[in-house]
Chain A
Amino acid sequence: MILRRVINWPTRDWRSPFEKLERIQREMDWLSEGLTGRPSTEPSVGVFPLVNVTEDKDNYYVRAELPGIKADKVDISVTGNSLSIAGERKITPENGDYHRREREEGKFSRMISLPMQIDQSKVEAQASDGILTVVLPKSETKKPRQITVKAS
């Protein structure tokens, strides 16, 4: 089950086979930790929205595609090192005959646990063009410190 999931995992172009292996390793780690707080569950079942998580030196960035949802309709909260995103998408019905109806509405909620302690007081969120971005600063005390070796 897990193996199949890893193979189906959305991928970008890999530059080398080693990068691919490293990536699979990382994704396996994430799977075992449990994206939803529950270990070893398939993330695609009953999960919305899908998220992309990136990091740089100072922050984690969690992004989700939420078209047509106003930023103030999304409920974002942080506890410990987990982030919760919840809300509801409502589509006002149009007048006229529907030829196609593919856009979906409904409620959603999701928990994402991050591998590191975050600075809860400085979490920021913004939405633009239907993409929600949550910026989670890494906790100062947990940040890896760079130590310069002095030449004697």
Chain B
Amino acid sequence: MTDSENKTLQAKKKAEVAAPAEQTRPGPTFIPAVDIVETDQEVTVLADMPGVGVKDINIDLGDDMLTLVGNAASPEGENEVDVFSEYLTGKYARQFTLSHEIDQPKIGAEMKDGVLRLKLPKLEAAKPRKITVKVG
């Protein structure tokens, strides 16, 4: 486990997506940092998408392919002029293939402070079953 007491955060250049198809809207697309955690019951995906609101997130699951797309609206006001900029803003996009059968109607998503929490419950059939060996 990481020791947060001594750790300092380092700025990272946002990784840009090499898009398979051209985007309809111009502007850069970034790869969000994610944590993926699996339990027997579900798979949880946590993604950092600063600037993306609840309405701007698109989650799509089809054929075991999970697609996350977030559109970050520019927070700048109309009359603001750049003094200097160190980071770019734009879309976030990332795709994952899922190895487990997901109970699609039970998928839950929550967006809080720019972090997406996606709960993907496994189908009953996909959950590991415990088989007890009887002593004969």
Q: Which A residues contact B (CB, under 8 angstroms)?
A: 10, 12, 26-27, 30, 35, 43-44, 46-57, 60-61, 63, 65-70, 88-91, 93-108, 115, 127-131, 133
Q: Which B residues contact A (CB, under 8 angstroms)?
A: 1-2, 4, 7-11, 13, 33-39, 44, 46, 48-53, 72, 75-77, 79-89, 111-115
Q: Are A103 and B2 in contact (CB under 8 A)?
A: no
Q: Are A105 and B113 in contact (CB under 8 A)?
A: no
Q: Are A129 and B52 in contact (CB under 8 A)?
A: yes
Partner among A61, A97, A105, A128 whose Cβ is within 8 Å of the Cβ of B76: A61
Chain A contacts for B7, CB-based, 8 A: 104-107
* 8 A-B contacts (beta carbon < 8 Å): A12-B85, A26-B84, A43-B86, A65-B87, A66-B114, A100-B36, A129-B111, A131-B75
Q: Are B82 and A97 in contact (CB under 8 A)?
A: no
Q: Are A130 and B50 in contact (CB under 8 A)?
A: yes
Contact flag A52-B85 (CB < 8 Å), given A67-B115, A105-B4: yes
Shortest A51–chain B CB gap in Å is 6
Q: Are B83 and A50 in contact (CB under 8 A)?
A: no
Chain B contacts for A97, CB-based, 8 A: 37-39
CA distance A86 to B51 in the complex (A): 20
Partner among A46, A68, A99, A108 whose Cβ is within 8 Å of the Cβ of B113: A68
CA distance A100 to B33 in the complex (A): 9
Partner among B49, B81, B111, B114 whose Cβ is within 8 Å of the Cβ of A54: B81
Shortest A79–chain B CB gap in Å is 19
Q: Are A30 and B79 in contact (CB under 8 A)?
A: no
Shortest A113–chain B CB gap in Å is 11
Q: Are A60 and B50 in contact (CB under 8 A)?
A: no
Chain A contacts for B88, CB-based, 8 A: 10, 12
Q: Are A65 and B35 in contact (CB under 8 A)?
A: no
Partner among B37, B76, B79, B113 whose Cβ is within 8 Å of the Cβ of A94: B37
Partner among B38, B72, B75, B85 whose Cβ is within 8 Å of the Cβ of A133: B75
Shortest B110–chain A CB gap in Å is 12
Contact flag A130-B87 (CB < 8 Å), given A96-B39, A102-B34, A107-B9: no
Chain B contacts for A99, CB-based, 8 A: 36-38
Partner among A56, A89, A93, A130 whose Cβ is within 8 Å of the Cβ of B51: A130
Partner among A61, A103, A106, A127 whose Cβ is within 8 Å of the Cβ of B46: A103
Q: Are B86 and A93 in contact (CB under 8 A)?
A: no
CA distance A89 to B25 in the complex (A): 32
Q: Are B4 and A52 in contact (CB under 8 A)?
A: no
Q: Are B115 and A130 in contact (CB under 8 A)?
A: yes
Q: Are B9 and A89 in contact (CB under 8 A)?
A: yes
Partner among B35, B51, B111, B112 whose Cβ is within 8 Å of the Cβ of A98: B35
